[in-house]
């Protein structure tokens, strides 16, 4: 399978998920990468998100150990047509819960073939100076690991 293009879809209110999925996309070495930010409500008002690219990389933060409820309708609008998908969750170093498993089911139901999945740590949205929770994450090491993950994904898919 030859992967020449990717669509990166992300929901990232604090920027941590965006950082992780961008590093994964960079690690794949794919030159044609299109980004879709679904963080703002106006970006989620679509009837159908058809992925024309060869690969989907989709990233979300974990809310209360689950996929954020405000994404339910948007995620149902995905259409994959048998294309491979990489599912990524970012959690605040407390518990990643069932979000990754939920996302695999969501992309499968949307017609994608889950090809890879990973959870990364990002600074918790409740983190403060007084009570730091994964402060500064993702850090340079996390970004390096995300790029390596991207390289492993593309190697796997291109050898399939």
The tens digit of pLDDT for each residue in 87-138 reads 999 999 888 899 999 999 999 999 999 999 999 999 888 878 898 888 889 9
Q: pLDDT at position 48, please?
A: 78
What's the confidence (pLDDT) of residue 24? 99
pTM to 2 decimals? 0.94
Q: Cα angle vertex 111, ends 20, 115, to 5°?
A: 45
The pLDDT of residue 31 = 97
Place of tokens 């992925």: 51
Pairing of the two strands 84-91 and 113-121 = parallel
pLDDT for res 79:
93
Q: 45 vs 158, which has greater pLDDT?
A: 158
pLDDT given for residue 119 in this prediction: 97
Q: Please give the average per-residue pLDDT across 7-20, as a whole number.
A: 97
**What's the pLDDT score for residue 150?**
98
127/82: higher pLDDT: 82
Query: Are residues 21 and 8 in contact, defined by beta-carbon separation less than 8 angstroms?
Result: yes
User: What pLDDT was estimated at residue 68?
Assistant: 94
Count of C-beta atoms within a 10 Å radius of residue 87 = 26
User: What counts of helices (H) and strands (E) characterise the chain?
Assistant: 4, 7
Instruction: Estimate the crossing angle of helix 16-28 against helix 140-158, to 10 degrees.
Output: 40
Share of the chain above pLDDT 70, in %: 100
For the chain, list the domains and their CATH numbers: 5-158 (3.40.50.360)
SS3 of 29-96: CCCEEEEEECCCHHHHCCCCEECCCCEEEEEEECECCECCHHHHHHHHCEECCCCEEEEEEEECCCCC
- Asked if 77 and 46 count as a contact pair (C-beta separation under 8 A), the reply is yes
């Amino acid at each position: 399978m030859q992967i020449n293009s990717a669509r990166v879809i992300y929901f990232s209110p604090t920027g941590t998920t965006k950082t992780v999925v961008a590093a994964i996309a960079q690690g794949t070495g794919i030159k044609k990468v299109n980004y879709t930010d679904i963080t703002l409500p106006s970006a989620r008002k679509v009837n159908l998100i058809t992925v024309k690219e060869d690969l989907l990389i989709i990233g979300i933060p974990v809310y209360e150990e689950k996929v954020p409820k405000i994404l339910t309708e948007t995620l149902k609008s995905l259409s994959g047509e048998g294309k491979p998908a990489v599912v990524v969750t970012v959690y605040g170093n407390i518990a990643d819960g069932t979000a990754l498993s939920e996302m695999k089911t969501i992309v499968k139901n949307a017609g994608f073939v889950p090809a890879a999945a990973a959870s990364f740590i990002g600074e918790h949205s409740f983190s403060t100076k007084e009570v730091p929770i994964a402060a500064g994450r993702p850090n340079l090491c996390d970004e390096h690991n995300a790029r390596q993950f991207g390289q492993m994904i593309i190697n796997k898919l291109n050898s399939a």
